[in-house]
Amino acid sequence: MGLGGTFSTAVLALHAQAQNLTTIATNIANVQTNAYKEQNTHFKTLVNHVSGAENRSYFAVETVDTRMVDKQGLLLSTQRQLDLAIDGKGLFVTNTEPDGTGEWQFTRDGGFAGSSIQFETDSDNNGQNDQGSVLTANGGNTVFGWPANADGTFDEANSLDALQAVTINSNQVFESRATSLISVQANISAASTGRQKTGLPFIDANGDSRTLTLGFSASTDNEYTLDASSISMANQPISVTIEPATASFTGFGTLATPQNGQFTITVNDPTGPQVITVDLSDTTQLQSTGSIDLLNFEQDGLKEGILNSTFFDSDGVMFGSFSNSSVMPLFKLPMANFPAPNQLEAVSGNFFRQDPRAGQLELGSLGSVSGTAQIVVGALEQSNVDIADQFTKMIVTQRAYSSSATVLRTADEMTQQARDLKR
């Protein structure tokens, strides 16, 4: 290899070290960027050929850049409910358009926020369209997830077409639910000959709260005749039936019959009968206080509720909390996984787009794949750049660049000396 090859090798070396310095500068610039993934410049030999009088081949150098997408960054607590950090493998799924017609992009940056939107529905019947927000990533893309079914389950299909924009309807209504089961823990006063009664609140078919009065009249020492009554919302007495109509207790004060402790009460409302199962299996007949003592009471009815707030859990499920104290799932975030995530193409906004070299996209559920990843709520993943390592690389790169420049300068001086031989 003559001086022509030396010039070419030295210039290629300068370009390679300049590229390496650009990579280092990019990493240092993004050392505080949430979930930024370190980029590395690798060097490889390059066979170059010089034709003509020399007609020789020699090794120069070229660069290959890679990105450490699969390298976990440290998690920093923020205490903000919409900040989500992925601890493990996977990326959040986003789209450049809220309706999903744009480009699908993926990110590890879970610093989400809500962007105001208006729905075409009137859930609370106030005469105005519902208001709410759509979940967006820091870079502006819309976050997508699996929507919840009416029963709170999810169809976790491995398809981008199954995803919807994660939206929050601030006027969403949790429909009322009529009471079907009442569980009672009480104590019937032993040896009392009078009628003992207690009031049991319940929710009727219209979503209104009413009271069911349950009475116990002693027929023998350990047996009671039961009766029930209720008042309609118009303050009118209505017919109530109970089956079976008797209950007996053992000598130890525990319920003997019925064996399952359950009574069927039918409230004959004008709009239709409401059947309620009353479970008295935890009711006892002990001390003689003269009246019934209601110790604990639970019923499964709910009044209508309005959405108060939303929150995520470690499985990426977004729940809605309503004014009637009920909670129900709204969306679930999938994890996007690739066989070779380091081959994803980085784009502006802290996102990645799919590249054929990364392999086939697979949408996975955090709840169904044990050990793959989990969501840390109220935290953000930090950049995985080691600043000390970058400064070390920068010093080495500077020396390598200076050395390559020295080679180029030396080759130039040798050329000048060869030229001067003609004088």
For 248-265, the DSSP string reads EE-TTSBEEESTT-EEEE
What band does 411 get if pLDDT is binned at 50, 70 and 90?
A: confident
Sequence-distant (≥ 6) Cβ neighbours of residue 191 within 8 angstroms: 221, 288
Give the whole-number percent of the chain exceeding pLDDT 90. 73
Going by C-alpha positions, the residue among 90, 88, 87, 110 that lies closest to residue 166 is 110
Distance in angstroms between the alpha carbons of the first and the last residue of the chain: 26
Q: Give the pLDDT mean for 46-57.
A: 64
Lookup result for tokens 């009815």: 301
pLDDT digits (tens, 9 = 90+) for 213-235: 999 999 887 899 999 999 998 88
Residue 339 token pair: 């066989």
> CA–CA separation, 334 vs 130, rounded Å?
27
Sequence-distant (≥ 6) Cβ neighbours of residue 118 within 8 angstroms: 129, 130, 131, 132
Report pLDDT for 375: 94
Instruction: Name which of 158-172, 316-330, 370-384 the model is least confident about.
Output: 370-384
Q: pTM here?
A: 0.81
Cα angle: 243, vertex 245, 247; to 5 degrees: 115
Report pLDDT for 29: 95
Report pLDDT for 48: 67
Q: Give the pLDDT mean for 87-105.
A: 95
Report pLDDT for 365: 87
Residue 53's CB is within 10 A of a number of other CB atoms, namely 8
What band does 125 get if pLDDT is binned at 50, 70 and 90?
A: confident
Coil, strand, or helix at residue 230? strand
Report pLDDT for 4: 63
Going by C-alpha positions, the residue among 74, 46, 140 that lies closest to residue 102 is 140
How far lies 40's CA from each of 161, 169, 226, 393, 416, in Å?
Answer: 34, 43, 80, 10, 38
> CA–CA separation, 245 vs 264, rounded Å?
9
* Most distant CA atoms of the chain, gap in Å: 137
In 283-326 the beta strands, taken as DSSP E runs, fall at 284-286, 293-299, 305-312, 317-322
> CA–CA separation, 414 vs 423, rounded Å?
15
Between helix 3-29 and helix 387-420 the angle, nearest 10°, is 160
